[in-house]
Structure 1
Amino acid sequence: MRVFVQRSSLALFAVLVGSMQAQSTPALRHGPAFGTFSNLHYIDQTGDVVGTEITIIPQHKTAYAIFQCSEGAPSDPVFVPVSLNGRQIQFTVHSRDKSCDGVFTGTITARGLKLVAQSENKGPKESEGGELLSRRASYWSH
């Protein structure tokens, strides 16, 4: 009986310590960096879908993005980890079709996500001082 009490006390102690440690670990919360940002749109004349869509989701200690771009036909969505620093984000995309690969940095503003893409080999794309992705429902939810 004494061994049972000792083991039970030890197990209870381990559960309490684990619980306290889990509570002291900061978890990401909902905030301005999370949600869907998109400028995907359909062009009637050509039948093309063009633009970029990103959904940023929080996890316990980090965030992830579901990233999709389209330059006529939509690329496969890519799931990538995101570095967050306040309203600044950064992530790297490596996709199967290589259509939108690169390092992406962005700033969350009241208007949405200002996203700058740079090719891993070439630096910032010449035509882009960044594109604004509005905070809105996904293009695919229409």
Structure 2
Amino acid sequence: MKTIIAIAAFALASSAAASEPKITGTYSGFEYIAEAGDVVGVEITIVYSDSGYFALVQCAEGSPGAPSLVPATVDVSTVSFSLPPQADSDCPATQFQGTISKRGLTGTFKDTNWPGLLKRRHSYWQ
């Protein structure tokens, strides 16, 4: 009986873990506007280390700004981080809050509705 209970508990835990989306990865909304020769959008890569999660964030409004690497807070499927002011970045110096799902990372920078959905895919630069 104990074996059956242990197997059932393991199966439940495994199915719950399998339903949670993988946090790490690249979420990109970058696109090339051929008529203008511009790159626009946001790309966020979430990585993990022994120091916790980090977000590599790059924004582009015509040409790509410098990327920022910042600590990220992850709670199940919610991701948040704050970007510092950076002269050569097109990203707003504010907090980002988002949720990861099977569709990608949906979130916004504080007091904006930008960027919205960033699909999980390879980096624009790959």
TM-score (norm 1): 0.69
Q: Identify which of structures 1 and 2 has the higher relative contact order when contacts are C-alpha pairs closer than 8 Å and 6+ apart.
A: 2
Q: 1:96 aligns with which of 87, 90, 93?
A: 87
Superposed counterparts of 1:24-39, under 5 Å: 32-39=22-29
Structure 1 or 2, whichever has the larger Rg, is: 1
TM-fit CA distance, 1:61: 4.2
Q: 1:65 to 1:33 in 2, by over 3 A?
A: same
Q: How many residues align?
A: 104
TM-fit CA distance, 1:99: 3.0
Q: Which amino acid aligns with 1:99?
A: D
CA contact (8 A) 2:73 2:80 kept: yes
Superposed counterparts of 1:1-142, under 5 Å: 32-94=22-84, 95-97=86-88, 99-100=90-91, 101-118=93-110, 124-125=111-112, 128=113, 131-141=116-126
RMSD: 1.5
Distance 1:98 1:69 in 2: 7
Q: Which amino acid aligns with 1:135?
A: R
Distance 2:115 2:31 in 1: 17
Tell me which residue corresponds to 1:16: none
TM-fit CA distance, 1:130: 5.3
Q: Among the aligned pairs, what percent are the same residue?
A: 38
Q: Which amino acid aligns with 2:121?
A: R
Q: Secondary structure at the match of 1:46?
A: coil
Greater shift in the superposed pair: 55-64 or 81-90 = 55-64
CA contact (8 A) 2:41 2:60 kept: yes
